Amino acid sequence: MATGKEYEAKIANYNWDDLIQLWSEIESGDTPGWGAGKALEYLVLRAFELDSAEVTWPYSVRVDGDELEQIDGVVYSEGLAYIIECKDECEAVDILPIAKLRNQLLRRPATITGIVFSRKGFTPNAVKLARLVSPQTILLWEGEEIKYSLQNKCIIRSLVKKSRHCIEHGLPDYNITIEAKI
């Protein structure tokens, strides 16, 4: 299995078109050369990097030699910081990743927002939990939003829209593709 540094080196050569192709492979469940879930983690971070954000690649937080947390990545953009959690599963994501991310955020400064990216979306219970997190610090991204942001090379603009909607309405699950459908 490849190491994190090997995945970083591999994804560093990807441009927007390469990411769109990788997304297609992720959607079909066929990502040769990538460990389970790794293609989505690195695709999301590379998209932010291509869109001029600063990223921290996946890492572990260790305390006294024990792994306390595994972080899928961190994104810094427009003076804000986001902890990334990615889920490349065959079914909609339930509450566990949201609860995990909430606990990770509780250990950090209050200004940090979490984002859960899910290829297959979220169960109603997961959305309900994300809406009840207080203060509202977790945004939800579904597969169609990832695809839209890749095709339009606008993941930061999409993040700003999603964040503003959450600030104004208190809802973390605004679908940024709605404007494209109107």
| Statement: residue 42 has pLDDT above 80 | yes
Asked if 136 and 170 touch (Cβ cutoff 8 Å), the reply is yes
Percentage above 90 pLDDT, the chain: 92
pLDDT in tens, 81-139: 999 999 999 999 999 999 999 999 999 999 999 999 999 999 999 999 999 987 778 99
In degrees to the nearest 10, what's the CA dihedral of 75, 49, 51, 33? -120
In this predicted model, which residue has the larger pLDDT, 63 or 135? 63
The model's pLDDT over 127-175, given as tens digits with 9 standing for 90+, comes to 999 999 877 789 999 999 999 999 999 999 999 999 999 999 989 999 9
**pLDDT recorded at residue 180:** 56
Rounding to the nearest 10 degrees, give the CA dihedral for residues 165, 168, 170, 175.
Answer: -10
What was the pLDDT predicted at 181? 52
Mean pLDDT, to the nearest integer, of 40-51? 98
Query: What would the mean pLDDT of 63-68 be, rounded to a whole number?
Result: 93
